[in-house]
Amino acid sequence: MSARLAAAFGKGHPALVCFVTAGDPTPDATPAILDALVAGGADVVELGMPFTDPMADGPAIQAANLRALGAGTTTAQILAIAAGFRARHPAVPLVLMGYANPMTIRGGDWFAAQASAAGVDGVICVDIPPEEDGELGPALRARGISLIRLATPTTDAARFPAVLDGSSGFLYYVSVAGITGKQSAALTSIETAVARFKQTTDLPIAVGFGVRTAEQAGPIARVADGVVVGSALVDLVAQHGADAAGPVRALVADLAQAVHSARSIAA
């Protein structure tokens, strides 16, 4: 697994994982927004690959996908954005997140090779469950890229080993059964789920879906290894467009302060 991902979850405090969509509002605007995530204190950066049919996403990220594709964003540009990020931020882990078709259309080997060349540490594919791992998993593992799987409230004990098999980097716990950006889960249910998964895996567990504010992120960071924030950042990009870097940096700094200090306050 990626040394950068391991380091991000080994800092002695919970990690803040931040998501934005590549090419939103334009491919040229994305690097400055990614830099703002890092400057604000993000420990892991997730770069969303836009898709015409983002069926696991709520309205905010759907709209971001359409803005990015409307601006003509291509896979080649996304890989170039990733490579540029790696050059500017040699130590910050970068994860590509998206849907199966854009990742596999030229073959899983092609995608893994390109992602590796761009310095990508991990890949999250929303619609490739363990049952279809052959599409992408072997190619990623052969290149040393972490395949980061999702666990959900419907992932029971019988199924969890299949989710873990072949995954690395961290485990992304989708805290609500639903789409991105909508409702948030009760803290007690998150704590119970994380504790349950911890009995079976040593992978860091990052919790996402519906986390929008420092007030929500802090308490989750007390019970998990990381917190993922996406739709709230994407909403800022929707609001501020090419000038989003400043507001994005401010929100990330707020979130980072809450997440990084969560345990020292709580303890």
Taking CB under 8 A as the criterion, the residue among 2, 21, 75, 216 binding another protein is 75
Q: Which residues are catalytic?
A: 46, 57
**Between the CA of residue 157 and those of 111, 196, 247, 265, what are the distances in Å?**
32, 8, 41, 32
Element (H, E) at 34: helix 30-40
Taking CB under 8 A as the criterion, the residue among 10, 28, 52, 266 binding another protein is 52
Closest approach, Cβ 250 to another protein, in A, equals 30
Site residues for another protein, 172-231, by CB under 8 A, read: 174, 176-179, 182
Taking CB under 8 A as the criterion, the residue among 4, 86, 149, 212 binding another protein is 149
Taking CB under 8 A as the criterion, the residue among 109, 141, 143, 152 binding another protein is 152
Q: What six digits make up the tokens of 167?
A: 């995954």
The site map against another protein for 112-131 (x = CB under 8 A) is --------------xxxx-x
Q: Which residue, 26 or 152, is less far from another protein as judged by CB?
A: 152
Place of tokens 């992978």: 203
Laid out side by side, the sheet with 171-174 consists of: 146-147, 122-125, 94-98, 44-48, 15-21, 226-229, 205-208, 171-174, 150-151
Place of tokens 């950006």: 181
Q: At what angle do helices 245-260 and 231-240 cross, to 10 degrees?
A: 160
Which residues lie near another protein (CB under 8 A)? Answer: 51-56, 58, 62, 66, 69, 74-75, 99-105, 126-129, 131-132, 135, 149-156, 159, 163, 174, 176-179, 182
